Amino acid sequence: MKNNLGVLEIDNFYLSRIYEEGIEEEKKKSNGVYYTPKVIVRYIMEKTLEKHDILKNPCPKILDISCGCGNFLLEAYDILYDLIESKIYDLRDKYNDEYWCIDNIHKHIVENCIFGVDIDNKALEILKNALSNKNSSEKEDKTKYSVNIYCEDGLKKEWDFKFDYIVGNPPYVGHKSLDKDYKKYLLKEYSSVYRDKSDLYFCFYKRVIDLINKDGTISMITPRYFLESPSGVNLRKYIKENSYIEEIVDFLGANIFKNIGIAGCIVTLKPIKYKDFKENHSINIYKIKDENIKINEVEDLSSFINGGSFENFYINQNLLEEDWLITNPQDREFYKKIQCKCKYELDEIATSFQGIITGCDKAFIIENSNEISAPKNLLKVWVKNKNIRKYIIDDTKYRLIYSNDIDDEKIYENTIKKYIEPYRVKLENRRECKKNIRKWYELQWGREKYLFEQEKIMYPYKSKCNRFAIDHNNSYCSADVYSFFIKEKYKNEFSNEYLVGVLNSDIYNKYFKIIAKCMGKDIYDYYPNKVMKIKIFKDNNYKKIEELSKKIIFILKNKNTKYSEDELETKLSILEEEINKLIKESLQI
């Protein structure tokens, strides 16, 4: 049996936790390094090494391509030690070799089975010491064995062999945080999965798939972003075409990692050449039901997953298209019906655009419109995310100084001095100003005025539900708000009232969320790349839906009536339900 080393023996995570807590948050973020909860590590080991047949292969190779302090590898060591120790006499008999004895187990595992790579040398030293401390043999000279732990970039390191198991938690680093030269390298060497707005961990997926044995298993925890994001399309294609997806455990917006808002998932893969692969293979999907899970309070993730806390269903891998529709069969059927029944795509009917990026809101956004002394021709109604409700936009006291209309600084000297000048240093440091693309007092990205100065539909880019509202006030908006207006050729075909009636319905709320990117805690991403792909129908119920929508808008805009708040809510609910019924009738769902 292994010797007792106190807390280090009991908890493989002790030293790594102390080390990680000592790293500054900014450095963690820039390197994309986050401590993997113990319960996640153990679940991944259950999916991989714990199933290993040690008699059939007494030298399994386990790789963590971004191992850090080695949480995964230290757990792997313990599992291997127990597997070998329990079968030590069987191994000696089968291979007719005295090599198989208790005193040799440590050296055997460290020299033949455990492989780790990372660029953090301090973390690797912690791992090496932890492995050394696991040596329970009094006879063995601890200096007479080598370890396969390398201080290198896991995406660049070359290997002469492949691995039986690859596990880990690769770094998450967005494209904006990468060194230019390194990004060029990734774009060249990992072009099949890594494009302009990809994350670094995309490349790790490709690397591990390329390094796995034909009968091996990969299991990693990564952000779930790639499952739904447009930038993940090439990675999804590579995974589908080069691996057999055994399981996806989707935590949606649950906080798996301490102090960071990254939504995670555990993906378990086998190579496409796996001997038991079937053409109609189904992926086992688990989706968490309650995103308020406290992962550190979960003792056994496998029991937790199978105990009713996750929705469980299967998806045929061959049915995965460019955009993966990872949802249960009922919702899949619901989504497909709408897709088939609708003739139009929102992108075909309307033109979409983003709000303004000021570069310094304090310089250009003024609160309390009654006290603003700036010239009226420069002032624009300013709408924020919070002002947008279903159907209507709440009144706002904010105004935008549209400084791009200033063609003579002397004429507007007082306005510039009072509102913009106090922030001149910050404004001059903007990239566009340094390159002389913008004058120091101009908006960073002011867009074209005609986009805003018309009737349009506005919606927030993050929301718990569909919130599409008609703007009649030529409102301008911040970059976290998107808008669209009906194209000229469709102005006689569709009205804004009809569109918001359909888009704000319970039916379309469910429809959109099936394909939307979940940002966490039931918040969804409403970027145009998904919103403008929404399918729209027009049939005999068009006028009825349009009229019901107009009634809803009238009630919301004229709440000071003889009716109480409760009575108004009841009236609205009845009208909204009528729209839902008509949509169901039209789409036959």
Same domain assignment for residues 300 and 376 = no
- CATH label of the domain that carries residue 198: 3.40.50.150
pLDDT tens, 74-126? Answer: 999 999 999 999 999 999 988 888 889 999 999 999 999 999 999 999 999 99
Tokens 């399918």 sit on residue: 535
Same domain assignment for residues 50 and 11 = yes
Specify if 455 maps to a domain. Answer: yes
pLDDT tens, 257-276? Answer: 766 667 889 999 999 875 56
Specify if 1 maps to a domain. Answer: no
Report the share of the chain in percent with pLDDT over 70.
90
Same domain assignment for residues 363 and 287 = no
| DSSP element (H, E) containing 471 | strand 469-471
CB 66 within 8 A of CB 118: yes
Same domain assignment for residues 373 and 230 = no
CB 137 within 8 A of CB 103: yes
Same domain assignment for residues 410 and 520 = yes
Per-residue pLDDT averaged across 305-320, rounded? 92
What total of structural domains would you count in the chain?
Answer: 2
Specify if 338 maps to a domain. Answer: no
Q: What is the mean pLDDT of the chain?
A: 89
Same domain assignment for residues 274 and 306 = yes
pLDDT at 560 over 80: no
Same domain assignment for residues 442 and 578 = yes
Cα 144 from Cα 142, distance rounded (Å): 6
Where does a domain end: 270, 291, 326?
A: 326
pLDDT interval class at 16 (50, 70, 90):
low
pLDDT at residue 25, rounded to an integer: 55
Specify if 385 maps to a domain. Answer: yes
pLDDT at residue 333, rounded to an integer: 94
CB 170 within 8 A of CB 206: no
Same domain assignment for residues 424 and 370 = yes
Specify if 337 maps to a domain. Answer: no
pLDDT interval class at 7 (50, 70, 90):
very low
Specify if 519 maps to a domain. Answer: yes
Same domain assignment for residues 48 and 156 = yes
Specify if 2 maps to a domain. Answer: no
pLDDT at residue 5, rounded to an integer: 44
Same domain assignment for residues 294 and 355 = no
Residue 242: alpha-carbon gap to chain centroid: 22
Cα-based distances in Å from 373 to 359, 365, 369, 514? 22, 13, 9, 48
Q: Which domain holds residue 35?
A: 7-326
Specify if 24 maps to a domain. Answer: yes
| DSSP element (H, E) containing 398 | none
Same domain assignment for residues 451 and 579 = yes
Where does a domain end: 273, 294, 326?
A: 326
Same domain assignment for residues 549 and 505 = yes
